[in-house]
A and B are shown apart, each in its own frame.
Chain A
Amino acid sequence: MTELTYRQALNDTLRAELTRDENVYLIGEEIGVFEGSYKITAGLLKEFGPKRVVDTPISEEGFTGVAIGSAMLGLRPVVEIMTLNFSLIAIDQIVNHAAKMYGMFGGRVKVPLVIRTPGGGGQQLAATHSQNLEVWYAHIPGLKVVAPSNPADAKALLTAAIRDDDPVLFLENLGLYNTKGDVPDGEQVAEIGRAAIAREGTDLTVVSYSRGVVTALEVAEQLAGEGISIEVVDLRSLRPLDRVTFCESVKKTSRAVVFEDDMLSYGVGAEISATIGEAVFDWLDAPVRRVAAAEVPLPYAKPLELAAMPDAAALTKVIRETLAASGYRK
């Protein structure tokens, strides 16, 4: 076990996979000489050279498609798209091509591709650079979408994604890069498609993913001081979605709140709460609530940005309201 930042866990994993398999290469804007916009690829160009760490022009559709074509021939590209927002420029290649090829060509070609990209607001980057578009991709069969919340999962899920024979969107978050956590030493390969219980509890289940899990764990800790026992489910994978794990949790707690960074309407929480409503309705003591972003293009000014983003205070308030709605008493 070593304590690492999320950034360092990613950097170490990329290095390990580049070393292990010469078909693995990195491709993206400013990942080499500049060492990455967020320094995830720091030092790797020096270590592995320009063949394995490929700087590209600003050309998301082009280089994402290049990665797809190279994957069809058996290479294992790891694409960095500078932020999730810019993935929209490559969306035809991701959705109409990478996601479709295996099925549409009758299972006769594999596309072992990873697209790493950070989403998230809170950095005063204004509306076009602060989005959480994960459901756009989670909606698409053929893609796998993972969103690790901590350095250990970042390592184990990135390793799994690189070794997987399908296209995987690996969602990072600007707000997570400097967070720290214990990371098991040696090779770690997670199973994609499995949620985790990040904290056990008995009174209410908070379902979240990526950065939201960090906030949810803080809130759970805070409420534990009042004797309220919160269980936190970390989805880890948005496609496939591990419905069983959060439904089992709700059977235990009978209450659920979804905490998500994306928009409320048609968001991750809509899928979670619909699933709970359908699968474990009889166990529920209160309606499932969702804490999500305000539905505005995210403003630059700090007070407005903060007002739009789901935070610990909003989650705490909704947890209390959900407990009250079900006649909860300690």
Chain B
Amino acid sequence: MADTRRPAGARRTAKQGGDSAETLRGYYEQMVLVREFELRASEMYARAKIGGYCHLNLGEEATVVGLLAALRDTDYLFTTYRDHGYALVRGMEPGAVMAELFGKTTGVVGGRGGSMHMFDADLRMLGGYGIVGGQIPPATGAAFAIDYRSKAGKNAEAVMCLMGDATTNIGAFHESLNLAGLWKLPIVYVIVNNRLGMGTPVELASAEPDLYKRGSAYRIPGVRVDGDDPVAVRDAAIAALDKARADRQPSILETMSFRLKGHSVVDPARYRSKEDNEEAQANDPVPAFRNRLLKAGALDEKTADGIHDAIEKRVTDAVDFADASPDPSPSELFDAVYATPVANESRAYPGDPVTTVESVAS
């Protein structure tokens, strides 16, 4: 397989010389938070504290941190179902994210969404989405709303819409890009390419495996960046967001990284070769960034260990918080069906009479 880590289209805009040690340490800390949280989530899943599907950001930490370092508070974020790390780094409390995984009332959406559906309107993270590609048209619609209400400019709002590599094969992707290209919407489509759509390699799924080129039919430019380098990801994302803000130029940003584990926590990924697994582990972004900062003198071993210990405590606190939080009550079942109350809404539990209106029952 060709080396896709540094292809012709890559941008390695490594400006790390311009970043303070504090900034870089902050990125490292966030990466460790995502890593430790996900490892703990995996453990909690094995202990049946978490149900349903559970997709982890292991191997994607640098991408998560780089993208969100580029995103302003006024921007909107739409993600996939692999969304825990984005929720955490965007600013959701680890306890509330873990509580959502545990299905507790204190979860970010009260336990109604679970792993795939992290959401916080104040943080403008408008969802994890469980349907592959389903988030792309609504994200494009958010950009439409920005354009409807406000003018382009360097302080304008923009939308970042994440997707996996395999999502670029679905119709919603192509329809959305066409609309964004046609209407000049302020959006950056980020393709998080971890080389595998569940178990299918990109080359076996996409007739154009250079995914950053897939906007060409819609005059949407794309760039590819090393997703294991948070600084490179950040700089490429800033450049793309700037074009979205100032010029209403939508674009694609493809980040290249490795999925360190299976598709979800229950997937042992037996379809991966030994070499493939070794390559993934060799490119683990967390130790790589740590070593980079150590070498550059932005971090020392003691500080790094201190960061790790503090994060571990935060994650332990998150688990304790989730554990201690109350389960939702069945009496709340019908509390979030309609935003505008409506006559004759069914509130029948299984086995209840079809209508309990007294005049009919009598």
Contacts and interface: CB of A to CB of B under 8 A. Distances in A.
Interface string A64-98: 11111111111100000000000000001100110
A191 B120 CA distance: 31
A279 B355 contact: yes
A295 to B, nearest CB: 25
B342 A59 contact: no
Interface string A271-310: 0001100111000000000000000000000000000000
Contact of A193 (B129, B139, B343): B343
Contacts of A59: 175, 178-179
B136 interface: yes
A240 interface: yes
Interface in A224-274: 237, 240-244, 247-248, 251, 274
A25 B145 CA distance: 11
B354 A62 contact: no
B344 A61 contact: no
A57 B148 contact: no
B148 A70 contact: yes
Contacts of B361: 279
Interface string B104-135: 00011111110001011100001101010010
Contact residue range for chain A? 35 or more
Nearest to B187: A69
Nearest to B108: A106
Contact of A280 (B113, B146, B345, B360): B360
A243 B129 CA distance: 35
Contact of B172 (A65, A241, A275): A65
B339 A110 contact: yes
B335 interface: yes
A61 B343 contact: no
Nearest to A77: B141
A164 B210 CA distance: 44
B336 A103 contact: yes
B145 A240 contact: no
B179 A102 contact: no
A104 interface: yes
Contacts, number: 189
Given A92-B172, A96-B131, A279-B353, A106 B148 contact: no
A95 to B, nearest CB: 10
Given A61-B172, A61-B175, A244 B140 contact: no
Given A73-B146, A96-B131, A102 B337 contact: yes
Contacts of A92: 131, 134, 172
B171 interface: yes
A19 B110 CA distance: 38
Contact of A243 (B107, B120, B131, B354): B354
A65 B357 contact: no
A80 to B, nearest CB: 16
B338 A144 contact: yes
Given A97-B134, A102-B338, A66 B345 contact: no
Given A65-B172, A70-B144, A106-B119, A191 B109 contact: no
Contacts of A274: 354
Contacts of B120: 108
B339 A106 contact: no
Contacts of B335: 107
B158 interface: no
Contacts of B178: 57, 59, 62
Interface in A160-209: 164-166, 191-194
Contacts of A103: 112, 336-337
Contacts of A61: 137, 171-172, 175
A70 B148 CA distance: 9
A63 interface: yes
A109 B110 CA distance: 13
B194 interface: no
Contacts of B273: none
A25 B148 contact: yes
Residue from A65, A69, A164, A278 having most chain B Cβ neighbours under 10 A: A69
Contacts of B146: 73
B78 to A, nearest CB: 8
B46 interface: no
A164 B134 contact: no
B119 A109 contact: yes
Residue from B109, B145, B357 having most chain A Cβ neighbours under 10 A: B145
A51 interface: yes
B137 A166 contact: no
B138 interface: yes
A278 B353 contact: yes
8 contacts: A73-B76, A101-B127, A165-B339, A193-B342, A243-B344, A243-B354, A244-B359, A279-B353
